[in-house]
Structure 1
Amino acid sequence: MHTEKEILFIAWESPEGGYEAHSPGHSIFTQADDFEELRAMVHDAVSCHFEEDERPSIIRLHLVKDELIVV
């Protein structure tokens, strides 16, 4: 069993309002109305995606602004 040490999420403001986040290399997407809620949703998404003994111990959430997002 291989456990990743950390996982990265790229977050951006949604054109419809709120925020969206995606983890490159994983099929994990989430969204929320505000950034604090997005942080909670990212933790929830990681908990749902990985078994407890396989979860990364570090979650990085990087907010990008005014950049081209390619996912």
Structure 2
Amino acid sequence: MNEIFFLVEEAIEGGYNARAIGESIFTEGDSLDELKANIRDAVHCHFDEDKEL
């Protein structure tokens, strides 16, 4: 199982941004709980797209 690390920062306009280190994955959320869910969704979508190629 591979691990993906995310850099999480507070957004200037409010909420949070998360950027994967070593992958082209970026997402945001209004709260940390929303951000976690969005990260899971973004990772799932990112790797589903790779399987379709």
Taking structure 2 as the reference length, what is the TM-score of the superposition? Answer: 0.84
Aligned to 2:41: 44
Take 1:17 and 1:43, find their aligned partners in 2: how far apart are those partners? 21
Using structure 1 for the length normalisation, give the TM-score: 0.64
Moved beyond 4 Å, runs of 4+:
none
Runs of 5+ unmatched residues, structure 1: 55-71
- The higher-RCO structure (CA 8 Å, 6+ apart) is 1
> Cα RMSD (Å) of the superposition?
1.5
1:28 to 2:29 alignment: no
Query: Unpaired segments of 5 or more residues in structure 2?
Result: none
Identity of aligned residues (%): 49
Highest CA radius of gyration, 1 or 2? 1
| Residue 6 (str. 1) matches residue 3 (str. 2) | yes
CA shift for structure 1 position 36: 0.4
- How many residues matched? 49
Counterpart Cα distance in 1 of 2:9 and 2:26: 12
Q: Counterpart in 2 of 1:17?
A: 14
Shift of residue 24, structure 1, vs aligned partner: 1.3
